[in-house]
Structure 1
Protein backbone atom coordinates (compact mmCIF):
# COMPACT_ATOMS: atom_id res chain seq x y z
CA UNK A 1 0.00 0.00 0.00
CA UNK A 2 1.19 3.51 -0.75
CA UNK A 3 0.27 6.77 0.93
CA UNK A 4 1.60 10.24 0.24
CA UNK A 5 3.29 12.72 2.53
CA UNK A 6 2.85 16.25 1.20
CA UNK A 7 2.24 14.70 -2.21
CA UNK A 8 5.31 12.44 -2.22
CA UNK A 9 4.54 8.69 -2.39
CA UNK A 10 5.59 6.71 0.70
CA UNK A 11 5.83 2.96 1.22
CA UNK A 12 4.06 1.29 4.13
CA UNK A 13 5.74 -1.73 5.72
CA UNK A 14 3.85 -4.62 7.25
CA UNK A 15 0.51 -6.24 6.70
CA UNK A 16 -2.39 -4.04 5.59
CA UNK A 17 -5.41 -4.63 7.83
CA UNK A 18 -8.97 -4.93 6.54
CA UNK A 19 -12.42 -4.67 8.07
CA UNK A 20 -13.62 -8.12 9.08
CA UNK A 21 -10.11 -9.24 10.02
CA UNK A 22 -8.72 -9.44 13.51
CA UNK A 23 -6.63 -6.92 15.39
CA UNK A 24 -3.13 -8.44 15.40
CA UNK A 25 -0.99 -8.72 18.49
CA UNK A 26 1.74 -6.13 19.04
CA UNK A 27 3.90 -4.64 21.76
CA UNK A 28 4.01 -0.94 22.66
CA UNK A 29 5.53 1.17 25.42
CA UNK A 30 3.49 3.18 27.91
CA UNK A 31 4.40 6.57 29.35
CA UNK A 32 6.07 4.91 32.36
CA UNK A 33 8.23 2.78 30.01
CA UNK A 34 6.08 -0.27 30.78
CA UNK A 35 5.48 -2.84 28.07
CA UNK A 36 1.90 -2.85 26.81
CA UNK A 37 0.80 -5.85 24.77
CA UNK A 38 -2.09 -5.54 22.33
CA UNK A 39 -3.71 -8.57 23.95
CA UNK A 40 -3.96 -6.56 27.20
CA UNK A 41 -6.15 -3.92 25.54
CA UNK A 42 -9.72 -5.15 25.86
CA UNK A 43 -13.24 -3.99 25.12
CA UNK A 44 -14.06 -1.74 22.19
CA UNK A 45 -10.83 -0.08 21.07
CA UNK A 46 -10.07 2.86 18.81
CA UNK A 47 -6.41 2.91 17.80
CA UNK A 48 -5.17 6.08 16.14
CA UNK A 49 -1.77 6.09 14.52
CA UNK A 50 -0.14 9.45 14.04
CA UNK A 51 3.32 10.49 12.81
CA UNK A 52 4.05 12.76 15.81
CA UNK A 53 1.93 14.37 18.49
CA UNK A 54 3.99 17.56 18.11
CA UNK A 55 2.60 18.32 14.64
CA UNK A 56 -0.51 20.35 13.91
CA UNK A 57 -2.77 17.71 12.34
CA UNK A 58 -1.80 15.02 14.89
CA UNK A 59 -2.35 17.43 17.77
CA UNK A 60 -5.83 18.36 16.52
CA UNK A 61 -6.76 14.74 15.77
CA UNK A 62 -5.90 13.40 19.21
CA UNK A 63 -7.57 16.38 20.92
CA UNK A 64 -10.72 15.80 18.86
CA UNK A 65 -10.86 12.11 19.76
CA UNK A 66 -10.25 13.07 23.39
CA UNK A 67 -13.41 15.22 23.25
CA UNK A 68 -15.69 13.10 21.06
CA UNK A 69 -14.90 9.40 20.75
CA UNK A 70 -13.79 9.23 24.37
CA UNK A 71 -17.34 10.30 25.36
CA UNK A 72 -18.56 6.84 24.44
CA UNK A 73 -18.89 4.59 27.46
CA UNK A 74 -17.25 1.24 26.94
CA UNK A 75 -14.77 2.58 24.37
CA UNK A 76 -11.03 2.98 24.96
CA UNK A 77 -9.05 5.29 22.69
CA UNK A 78 -5.31 4.92 22.11
CA UNK A 79 -2.97 7.16 20.14
CA UNK A 80 0.09 5.34 18.84
CA UNK A 81 3.16 7.13 17.51
CA UNK A 82 6.93 6.77 17.37
CA UNK A 83 7.27 9.67 19.83
CA UNK A 84 9.24 8.73 22.92
CA UNK A 85 7.07 7.98 25.96
CA UNK A 86 8.49 11.05 27.75
CA UNK A 87 7.41 13.30 24.89
CA UNK A 88 3.96 11.69 24.81
CA UNK A 89 3.50 12.25 28.54
CA UNK A 90 4.63 15.89 28.22
CA UNK A 91 2.32 16.48 25.25
CA UNK A 92 -0.73 14.92 26.98
CA UNK A 93 -0.18 17.10 30.06
CA UNK A 94 0.25 20.27 28.02
CA UNK A 95 -2.74 19.47 25.78
CA UNK A 96 -5.04 18.42 28.63
CA UNK A 97 -5.57 15.03 26.97
CA UNK A 98 -6.75 12.69 29.69
CA UNK A 99 -9.16 10.30 27.95
CA UNK A 100 -6.85 9.08 25.19
CA UNK A 101 -3.96 6.86 26.24
CA UNK A 102 -0.78 7.53 24.27
CA UNK A 103 1.46 4.57 23.52
CA UNK A 104 4.83 4.50 21.76
CA UNK A 105 6.07 2.15 19.04
CA UNK A 106 9.63 3.49 19.25
CA UNK A 107 11.21 0.36 20.74
CA UNK A 108 10.76 -2.35 18.11
CA UNK A 109 8.16 -0.98 15.68
CA UNK A 110 5.94 -3.96 16.49
CA UNK A 111 2.69 -2.06 16.00
CA UNK A 112 3.76 -0.47 12.71
CA UNK A 113 4.79 -3.83 11.28
CA UNK A 114 1.67 -5.64 12.55
CA UNK A 115 -0.72 -3.02 11.17
CA UNK A 116 1.03 -1.92 7.99
CA UNK A 117 1.45 1.62 9.28
CA UNK A 118 5.23 2.05 9.38
CA UNK A 119 6.46 4.46 6.70
CA UNK A 120 9.66 2.99 5.30
CA UNK A 121 11.13 6.28 4.09
CA UNK A 122 10.49 8.24 7.31
CA UNK A 123 10.61 5.64 10.08
CA UNK A 124 7.33 7.08 11.39
CA UNK A 125 3.78 5.78 11.47
CA UNK A 126 1.27 6.86 8.87
CA UNK A 127 -2.09 8.30 9.85
CA UNK A 128 -4.65 5.53 10.31
CA UNK A 129 -7.67 4.66 12.46
CA UNK A 130 -8.64 1.16 13.56
CA UNK A 131 -11.75 0.24 15.54
CA UNK A 132 -11.91 -3.22 17.09
CA UNK A 133 -15.00 -4.64 18.77
CA UNK A 134 -14.94 -6.49 22.09
CA UNK A 135 -13.81 -9.71 20.37
CA UNK A 136 -10.94 -7.98 18.57
CA UNK A 137 -12.63 -7.97 15.16
CA UNK A 138 -11.82 -4.95 13.03
CA UNK A 139 -15.05 -3.10 12.29
CA UNK A 140 -13.47 0.07 10.92
CA UNK A 141 -10.15 0.53 9.12
CA UNK A 142 -8.94 3.76 7.56
CA UNK A 143 -5.49 4.40 6.14
CA UNK A 144 -5.55 8.13 5.39
CA UNK A 145 -4.25 8.50 1.80
CA UNK A 146 -2.37 11.76 2.51
CA UNK A 147 -0.48 11.64 5.82
CA UNK A 148 -0.80 15.41 6.31
CA UNK A 149 -4.63 15.27 6.22
CA UNK A 150 -7.22 14.39 8.85
CA UNK A 151 -9.03 11.05 9.04
CA UNK A 152 -12.77 10.77 8.39
CA UNK A 153 -13.96 11.55 11.92
CA UNK A 154 -17.65 11.17 11.14
CA UNK A 155 -17.25 7.71 9.59
CA UNK A 156 -15.38 6.48 12.66
CA UNK A 157 -17.89 7.99 15.08
CA UNK A 158 -20.81 6.54 13.10
CA UNK A 159 -19.17 3.13 13.36
CA UNK A 160 -18.86 3.51 17.13
CA UNK A 161 -22.52 4.48 17.46
CA UNK A 162 -23.53 1.18 15.84
CA UNK A 163 -21.45 -1.08 18.08
CA UNK A 164 -23.17 -3.01 20.86
CA UNK A 165 -21.57 -2.13 24.17
CA UNK A 166 -20.81 1.41 23.06
CA UNK A 167 -23.19 4.10 24.19
CA UNK A 168 -23.02 7.85 24.46
CA UNK A 169 -22.07 9.00 27.92
CA UNK A 170 -24.62 11.13 29.74
CA UNK A 171 -24.11 14.72 28.67
Structure 2
Protein backbone atom coordinates (compact mmCIF):
# COMPACT_ATOMS: atom_id res chain seq x y z
CA UNK A 1 0.00 0.00 0.00
CA UNK A 2 2.84 2.36 0.86
CA UNK A 3 4.58 1.63 -2.46
CA UNK A 4 1.44 2.55 -4.45
CA UNK A 5 1.12 5.91 -2.70
CA UNK A 6 4.81 6.67 -3.30
CA UNK A 7 4.52 5.80 -7.04
CA UNK A 8 1.43 7.99 -7.40
CA UNK A 9 3.28 10.89 -5.77
CA UNK A 10 6.21 10.45 -8.13
CA UNK A 11 3.85 10.34 -11.14
CA UNK A 12 2.04 13.52 -10.02
CA UNK A 13 5.38 15.25 -9.41
CA UNK A 14 6.61 14.17 -12.84
CA UNK A 15 3.44 15.48 -14.52
CA UNK A 16 3.74 18.79 -12.67
CA UNK A 17 7.38 19.05 -13.72
CA UNK A 18 6.48 18.37 -17.39
CA UNK A 19 3.65 20.89 -17.22
CA UNK A 20 5.90 23.52 -15.66
CA UNK A 21 8.59 22.82 -18.25
CA UNK A 22 6.05 22.98 -21.09
CA UNK A 23 4.62 26.29 -19.89
CA UNK A 24 8.11 27.78 -19.50
CA UNK A 25 9.30 26.49 -22.86
CA UNK A 26 6.13 27.71 -24.59
CA UNK A 27 6.44 31.11 -22.95
CA UNK A 28 10.07 31.51 -24.04
CA UNK A 29 9.22 30.42 -27.59
CA UNK A 30 6.27 32.82 -27.82
CA UNK A 31 8.30 35.75 -26.47
CA UNK A 32 11.21 35.02 -28.81
CA UNK A 33 8.80 34.88 -31.78
CA UNK A 34 7.35 38.24 -30.78
CA UNK A 35 10.84 39.72 -30.57
CA UNK A 36 11.84 38.36 -34.00
CA UNK A 37 8.67 39.65 -35.59
CA UNK A 38 9.01 43.05 -33.96
CA UNK A 39 12.67 43.45 -34.95
CA UNK A 40 11.89 42.82 -38.60
CA UNK A 41 8.57 44.64 -38.92
CA UNK A 42 9.51 47.65 -36.81
CA UNK A 43 13.26 48.17 -36.83
CA UNK A 44 14.27 46.79 -40.24
CA UNK A 45 11.15 48.13 -41.93
CA UNK A 46 12.25 51.66 -40.94
CA UNK A 47 15.57 51.17 -42.72
CA UNK A 48 14.39 49.37 -45.82
CA UNK A 49 10.84 48.53 -46.78
CA UNK A 50 9.71 47.22 -50.13
CA UNK A 51 6.09 47.26 -49.01
CA UNK A 52 4.00 46.71 -45.88
CA UNK A 53 3.08 43.21 -47.10
CA UNK A 54 6.74 42.41 -47.62
CA UNK A 55 7.55 43.64 -44.11
CA UNK A 56 4.88 41.35 -42.67
CA UNK A 57 6.22 38.42 -44.66
CA UNK A 58 9.70 39.22 -43.39
CA UNK A 59 8.39 39.16 -39.83
CA UNK A 60 6.77 35.80 -40.45
CA UNK A 61 9.98 34.44 -41.96
CA UNK A 62 11.98 35.61 -38.91
CA UNK A 63 9.44 33.87 -36.67
CA UNK A 64 9.81 30.65 -38.69
CA UNK A 65 13.59 30.78 -38.27
CA UNK A 66 13.21 31.40 -34.53
CA UNK A 67 10.89 28.40 -34.18
CA UNK A 68 13.26 26.27 -36.23
CA UNK A 69 16.23 27.08 -33.96
CA UNK A 70 14.61 27.30 -30.51
CA UNK A 71 15.17 23.90 -28.91
CA UNK A 72 15.24 22.30 -25.47
CA UNK A 73 19.00 21.77 -25.41
CA UNK A 74 21.90 24.02 -26.36
CA UNK A 75 23.47 21.42 -28.65
CA UNK A 76 20.17 20.83 -30.47
CA UNK A 77 19.67 24.57 -30.87
CA UNK A 78 23.21 25.03 -32.17
CA UNK A 79 22.84 22.22 -34.70
CA UNK A 80 19.49 23.60 -35.86
CA UNK A 81 21.06 27.06 -36.26
CA UNK A 82 23.90 25.67 -38.37
CA UNK A 83 21.46 23.71 -40.52
CA UNK A 84 19.14 26.71 -40.99
CA UNK A 85 22.08 28.99 -41.76
CA UNK A 86 23.52 26.63 -44.36
CA UNK A 87 20.14 26.15 -46.03
CA UNK A 88 19.51 29.89 -46.06
CA UNK A 89 22.93 30.78 -47.48
CA UNK A 90 22.67 28.20 -50.25
CA UNK A 91 19.16 29.31 -51.14
CA UNK A 92 20.23 32.97 -50.95
CA UNK A 93 23.17 32.42 -53.30
CA UNK A 94 21.21 30.43 -55.84
CA UNK A 95 18.19 32.75 -55.83
CA UNK A 96 20.30 35.89 -55.92
CA UNK A 97 22.30 34.64 -58.91
CA UNK A 98 19.13 33.54 -60.69
CA UNK A 99 17.37 36.87 -60.15
CA UNK A 100 20.38 38.85 -61.34
CA UNK A 101 19.89 37.15 -64.72
CA UNK A 102 16.24 36.09 -64.97
CA UNK A 103 12.82 37.27 -63.77
CA UNK A 104 10.49 35.15 -61.65
CA UNK A 105 9.38 31.99 -63.41
CA UNK A 106 7.94 28.81 -61.91
CA UNK A 107 10.27 26.69 -64.05
CA UNK A 108 13.20 28.74 -62.79
CA UNK A 109 12.03 28.04 -59.24
CA UNK A 110 11.93 24.32 -59.96
CA UNK A 111 15.39 24.50 -61.53
CA UNK A 112 16.87 26.33 -58.54
CA UNK A 113 15.27 23.83 -56.13
CA UNK A 114 16.76 21.02 -58.22
CA UNK A 115 20.22 22.63 -58.21
CA UNK A 116 20.11 23.12 -54.43
CA UNK A 117 18.99 19.52 -53.93
CA UNK A 118 21.77 18.16 -56.12
CA UNK A 119 24.44 20.30 -54.41
CA UNK A 120 23.36 19.24 -50.92
CA UNK A 121 23.10 15.60 -51.96
CA UNK A 122 26.59 15.66 -53.48
CA UNK A 123 28.18 17.17 -50.37
CA UNK A 124 26.36 14.77 -48.06
CA UNK A 125 23.93 17.21 -46.45
CA UNK A 126 20.66 15.73 -47.61
CA UNK A 127 19.04 16.59 -44.26
CA UNK A 128 19.15 20.27 -45.30
CA UNK A 129 17.40 19.74 -48.66
CA UNK A 130 13.89 20.35 -47.33
CA UNK A 131 14.80 23.61 -45.61
CA UNK A 132 16.73 24.87 -48.63
CA UNK A 133 13.87 23.99 -50.98
CA UNK A 134 11.27 25.67 -48.75
CA UNK A 135 13.41 28.79 -48.47
CA UNK A 136 13.89 28.87 -52.23
CA UNK A 137 10.16 28.49 -52.85
CA UNK A 138 9.37 31.34 -50.46
CA UNK A 139 11.97 33.64 -52.01
CA UNK A 140 10.74 32.88 -55.52
CA UNK A 141 7.05 33.35 -54.81
CA UNK A 142 7.64 36.55 -52.86
CA UNK A 143 9.81 37.84 -55.70
CA UNK A 144 6.99 36.99 -58.09
CA UNK A 145 4.36 38.95 -56.17
CA UNK A 146 6.48 41.84 -54.89
CA UNK A 147 7.03 45.17 -56.53
CA UNK A 148 10.61 46.13 -57.10
CA UNK A 149 13.60 44.15 -58.29
CA UNK A 150 13.43 40.40 -57.64
CA UNK A 151 17.11 40.23 -56.63
CA UNK A 152 16.34 42.15 -53.42
CA UNK A 153 14.18 39.33 -52.07
CA UNK A 154 17.01 36.87 -51.34
CA UNK A 155 18.81 39.63 -49.43
CA UNK A 156 15.73 40.51 -47.37
CA UNK A 157 14.94 36.87 -46.59
CA UNK A 158 18.57 36.32 -45.58
CA UNK A 159 18.29 39.21 -43.11
CA UNK A 160 14.91 37.98 -41.80
CA UNK A 161 16.24 34.48 -41.29
CA UNK A 162 19.46 35.69 -39.67
CA UNK A 163 17.51 37.75 -37.14
CA UNK A 164 15.27 34.78 -36.39
CA UNK A 165 18.25 32.45 -35.94
CA UNK A 166 20.00 34.84 -33.57
CA UNK A 167 16.87 35.46 -31.50
CA UNK A 168 16.13 31.71 -31.38
CA UNK A 169 19.66 30.90 -30.22
CA UNK A 170 19.66 33.62 -27.58
CA UNK A 171 16.19 32.69 -26.32
CA UNK A 172 17.21 29.04 -26.13
CA UNK A 173 20.23 30.00 -24.01
CA UNK A 174 18.07 32.15 -21.73
CA UNK A 175 15.59 29.29 -21.37
CA UNK A 176 18.41 26.95 -20.42
CA UNK A 177 19.71 29.45 -17.85
CA UNK A 178 16.20 29.66 -16.41
CA UNK A 179 16.11 25.88 -16.04
CA UNK A 180 13.97 25.10 -19.08
CA UNK A 181 16.46 22.64 -20.63
CA UNK A 182 14.71 19.40 -21.55
CA UNK A 183 15.78 15.80 -21.25
The bucket for the TM-score relative to the shorter chain is 0.3 to 0.5
* TM-score, normalising length: structure 2: 0.32
Q: Which has the higher helix share?
A: 2
* TM-score, normalising length: structure 1: 0.34
- Pick the structure with greater CA Rg: 2
